[in-house]
């Protein structure tokens, strides 16, 4: 049965494109591949588009782009979604051009954003290799995808069931922690066939914004520290100080994007081998660090 290969792109609606242009390149270290009337395309590797930013007052997640390995697997996956009663639409030729993919379909998430399933991404010319304006190394992407997203769930159990049973994502583990007296975080983490510890995680929260954070992973640990320094120097609010997650083993910090939701920059995240993986529940989000700051 066809299964999602990786989280290959993410689309964000942002109100301040100018600020994002600077932030994505000089804080995150991405490369602008295109800027036109629709917005900004960002590269993290040989893919022409890993993040796309559209001018939109929503300041939130618009699209999660899931890659299937072959055209046949895409068709089989979509047929299975339809069999489950999910309304799925083919993307128009105009949207396919903007996504820079051959074939794609979309469906709605119960929490207010769009999932797209595609095959056939566009890669840059061989001579046009990825060049980060600021990173010493590169991003960890390729088959593992861009990193992960954490959209909030309006209804936790319904959302977990949608990701697990409808999208067929594999559960990695759970974290249940009381972060403040009376405030329980109950997060579920999901991986795709290629095994990055999680490509999406979700937790129920009463919040107007869908996206809590996206995470990108760098090859060199120093690039986490250097990004932290760049963020502090630029006056960007640090939400969680440097720290370490017990489940995906990522060393990271969290800070605020120009849209108000957060980003996480990490290093050292593990890849799951399902043959030797045991799903377990953790009782803390971080085994050290990640001190939470008050964000204005
Ligand atoms: Fe994260």
pLDDT tens digit at each of 296 positions of the chain: 899 999 999 999 999 999 999 999 999 999 999 999 999 999 999 999 999 999 999 999 999 999 999 999 999 999 999 999 999 999 999 999 999 999 999 999 999 999 999 999 999 998 899 999 999 999 999 999 999 999 999 999 999 999 999 999 999 999 999 878 888 889 999 999 999 999 999 999 888 899 999 999 999 999 999 999 999 999 999 999 999 999 999 999 999 999 999 999 999 999 999 999 999 999 999 999 999 996 54
Query: Are 117 and 155 within one domain?
Result: no
Calculate how far, in angstroms, residue 47's C-alpha sits from the geometric centre of ligand 1: 22
Calculate how far, in angstroms, residue 84's C-alpha sits from the geometric centre of ligand 1: 30
Calculate how far, in angstroms, residue 200's C-alpha sits from the geometric centre of ligand 1: 9
Total of domains in the chain: 2
Residue 251 lies in a domain: yes
Calculate how far, in angstroms, residue 208's C-alpha sits from the geometric centre of ligand 1: 19
Residue 27 lies in a domain: yes
Calculate how far, in angstroms, residue 55's C-alpha sits from the geometric centre of ligand 1: 25
Assign residue 191 the CATH number of its domain: 3.10.180.10
Query: Are 117 and 198 within one domain?
Result: no
CB-proximal residues (5 Å) to ion ligand 1: 215, 264
Residue 130 lies in a domain: no
What is the residue range of 196's domain?
Answer: 142-289
Query: Are 114 and 150 within one domain?
Result: no
Query: Are 158 and 245 within one domain?
Result: yes
Q: Please tell me the pTM assigned to this model.
A: 0.97
Q: What is the bridge-based pairing of β-strands 251-256 and 262-267?
A: antiparallel
CA distance 150 to 203: 8
Calculate how far, in angstroms, residue 215's C-alpha sits from the geometric centre of ligand 1: 5
**The two three-digit tokens of residue 283, written as one number:** 């009782």
Query: Are 163 and 227 within one domain?
Result: yes
Query: Are 284 and 150 within one domain?
Result: yes
Residue 132 lies in a domain: no
Calculate how far, in angstroms, residue 19's C-alpha sits from the geometric centre of ligand 1: 23
Query: Are 117 and 154 within one domain?
Result: no
Calculate how far, in angstroms, residue 284's C-alpha sits from the geometric centre of ligand 1: 13
Query: Are 110 and 146 within one domain?
Result: no
Query: Are 180 and 239 within one domain?
Result: yes
Residue 136 lies in a domain: no
Query: How far, in Å, are 33, 206, 230, 258, 294 from residue 43 at the CA level?
Result: 6, 33, 20, 19, 32
Give the residue carrying structure tokens 């929260």. 205
Calculate how far, in angstroms, residue 250's C-alpha sits from the geometric centre of ligand 1: 9
Residue 98 lies in a domain: yes
Calculate how far, in angstroms, residue 93's C-alpha sits from the geometric centre of ligand 1: 33
Contact partners, residue 278, CB within 8 Å, separation at least 6: none
């Amino acid at each position: 049965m066809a299964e999602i290969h990786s989280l290959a792109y993410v689309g964000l609606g942002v109100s301040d494109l100018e600020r994002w242009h600077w932030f994505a390149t000089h804080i995150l270290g991405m490369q602008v591949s295109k800027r036109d009337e629709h917005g900004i395309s960002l590269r993290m590797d040989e893919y022409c588009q890993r993040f796309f930013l559209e001018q939109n007052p929503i300041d939130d997640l618009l699209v999660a782009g899931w890659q299937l390995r072959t055209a046949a697997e895409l068709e089989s996956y979509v047929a299975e979604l339809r069999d489950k009663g999910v309304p799925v639409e083919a993307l128009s030729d105009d949207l396919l051009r903007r996504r820079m993919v051959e074939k794609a379909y979309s469906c709605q998430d119960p929490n207010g954003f769009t999932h797209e399933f595609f095959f056939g991404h566009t890669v840059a010319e061989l001579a046009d290799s990825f060049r980060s304006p600021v990173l010493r190394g590169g991003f960890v992407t390729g088959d593992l995808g861009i990193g992960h997203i954490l959209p909030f769930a309006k209804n936790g159990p319904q959302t977990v069931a949608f990701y697990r049973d409808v999208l067929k994502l594999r559960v990695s583990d759970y974290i249940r922690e009381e972060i403040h007296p009376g405030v329980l975080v109950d997060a579920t983490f999901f991986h795709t066939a290629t095994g990055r510890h999680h490509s999406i995680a979700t937790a129920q929260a009463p919040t107007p914004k869908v996206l809590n954070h996206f995470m990108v992973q760098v090859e060199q640990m120093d690039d986490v520290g250097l990004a932290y320094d760049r963020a502090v120097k630029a006056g960007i609010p640090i939400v969680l100080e440097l720290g370490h997650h017990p489940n995906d083993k990522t060393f990271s910090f969290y800070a605020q994007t120009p849209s108000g939701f957060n980003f996480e920059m990490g290093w050292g995240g593990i890849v799951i081998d399902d043959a030797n993986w045991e799903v377990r529940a953790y009782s803390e989000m971080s085994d050290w660090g990640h001190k939470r700051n008050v964000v204005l």
